[in-house]
Amino acid sequence: MIPISKVHLGREVEELVLEVLRSGTIAQGPRVAELEKLFATLNDSRHVVAVNNGTTALIAALAVLDLKPGDEVITSPFTFVATLNAILATGATVRFADISRHDFCVDPDSVAKLVNERTRVLMPVHLYGQTADMARISQIANENDLKIVEDAAQAHFAKFEGRAAGNWGIGCFSLYATKNITSGEGGLISTNDDAVADKLRVLRNQGMRQRYQYEMAGNNYRMTDLQAAVCLPQLGAYSRLVESRKRNAETLSHGLRDVQGIHLPREIAGRDHVWHQYTIVVDERFGKTREELAAALEARGVSSGSYYPRLVHDYDCYRNDPRVVIDETPVAAQIAASCLSLPVHQYLTDSDLSTIVTAVKESATR
């Protein structure tokens, strides 16, 4: 089977993890500080604060903004559930803007329509490794005095007009096992605001700047040096990883260009896509549903995934929650029902890529 994602950590990671294990500093220590510093440099961010996972990154970023019950956060309905859960954890109300078919991220026109006197935060999700339209989202935020929290869990070092994800507001990255870079579990928060960074560091550590001097009701959001040691060596190899994902995406798009009824993902001009996922959209002309295509691919040895098969709020546990306000988002609904991600990761061989292309083509006709 060609897997949809693959984790392969090399010798350098093994050695650094062993070094940390033997050092005796296995909770937060110098390796976490090193990871924060290196990521900040590579991302062109003033500050990076490491936390224990990407969901925590979102929760902490929102917590810094002191949202009150009734305050509204506008986000995408086409995302991983962590985006929604993090907003609910702060006590705020969530509103969903529709997405654009071109980038699978929130459509600025739809965001603008939802803004009202209760709106406090815009929370775009840079889905699949490509940023949302941050020029227009920033403009809406500026005009209405709103904060931006970027869910960049899938978009490490993706760029919009040359500026990296996480620099348009408070940026939240995940280092979960299947993300482009990983620490097993882990998260990073980027900010160019000194006060926000300071508050995040105190919040992460039980509200303490000095031992037993509590400044706020904090939490334990700390990352361990073991996690940082898993991640650090990957940063040096990151540009190669993106190059190979980009090349794989181009090979898939070239091979699939004439297949009727599937829409191929595109890197929009001015954006640097990091290809966390390569996601096609299947329409009626293809002759098979998304589920039938996934099954046909599986039979030919190709794994695929639907990220995400339903809108994030479309589950019983959210339906009667008064803080989950559901507006019509027809584009997102249609794409959730018909999207399918194909393997694009850096471990694919040329032969894997031609297997994937052939499998999709054969599935279309048989």
**Is residue 138 at the binding interface for ligand PLP, with CB under 6 A as the rule?**
no
Q: Which residue is nearest to ligand PLP (CB)?
A: 54
In angstroms, rounded to a whole number, what is the distance separating the alpha carbons of residues 17 and 10?
A: 11
Query: Quick check: 124 and 132 in contact, CB under 8 A?
Result: yes
Task: State phi, psi for 34 to the nearest 5 degrees.
Answer: -65, -40
Our CB check for ligand PLP shows the closer of 160 and 286 to be 160
Residue 38's alpha-carbon distances to 81, 104, 163, 201, 328, in angstroms, are: 29, 30, 17, 17, 42
**Is residue 174 at the binding interface for ligand PLP, with CB under 6 A as the rule?**
yes
Interface with ligand PLP (CB under 6 A), residue total: 14
Our CB check for ligand PLP shows the closer of 5 and 303 to be 5
Query: Quick check: 175 and 150 in contact, CB under 8 A?
Result: no
Report the nearest approach of ligand PLP to the CB of residue 35 (Å). 15
Burial of 210 (0-12, 13-18, 19+ CB in 10 A): exposed
Q: Which of 54, 171, 218, 265 binds ligand PLP (CB under 6 A)?
A: 54
x/- site string to ligand PLP, residues 112 to 131, per CB under 6 A? -------------x------
Going by C-alpha positions, the residue among 210, 309, 231, 271 that lies closest to residue 52 is 231
Our CB check for ligand PLP shows the closer of 83 and 190 to be 83
Which window, 17-25, 38-46, 76-84, 135-143, contacts ligand PLP (CB under 6 A)?
76-84
Q: Which of 75, 100, 138, 154 binds ligand PLP (CB under 6 A)?
A: 154
Which window, 102-110, 136-144, 151-159, 195-203, contacts ligand PLP (CB under 6 A)?
151-159
**Is residue 191 at the binding interface for ligand PLP, with CB under 6 A as the rule?**
no
Query: Quick check: 249 and 265 in contact, CB under 8 A?
Result: yes
Report the nearest approach of ligand PLP to the CB of residue 122 (Å). 15
Q: Which of 43, 45, 79, 277 binds ligand PLP (CB under 6 A)?
A: 79
Which window, 35-43, 48-56, 128-136, 353-361, contacts ligand PLP (CB under 6 A)?
48-56
In angstroms, rounded to a whole number, what is the distance separating the alpha carbons of residues 17 and 236?
A: 16
**Residue 336 has which token pair?**
């959730």
Positive or negative torsion for Cα 150, 156, 160, 163: positive
Report the nearest approach of ligand PLP to the CB of residue 237 (Å). 20
**Is residue 183 at the binding interface for ligand PLP, with CB under 6 A as the rule?**
no
Query: Quick check: 170 and 199 in contact, CB under 8 A?
Result: no
Walk across the sheet containing 339-342 and list its strands.
262-263, 278-282, 339-342
Q: Which of 187, 233, 265, 343 binds ligand PLP (CB under 6 A)?
A: 187
**Is residue 83 at the binding interface for ligand PLP, with CB under 6 A as the rule?**
yes
Report the nearest approach of ligand PLP to the CB of residue 293 (Å). 23
Task: State phi, psi for 156 to the nearest 5 degrees.
Answer: -60, 120
Which residues sit at the interface with ligand PLP, rule CB under 6 A? 53-55, 79-80, 82-83, 125, 151, 153-154, 174, 176, 187
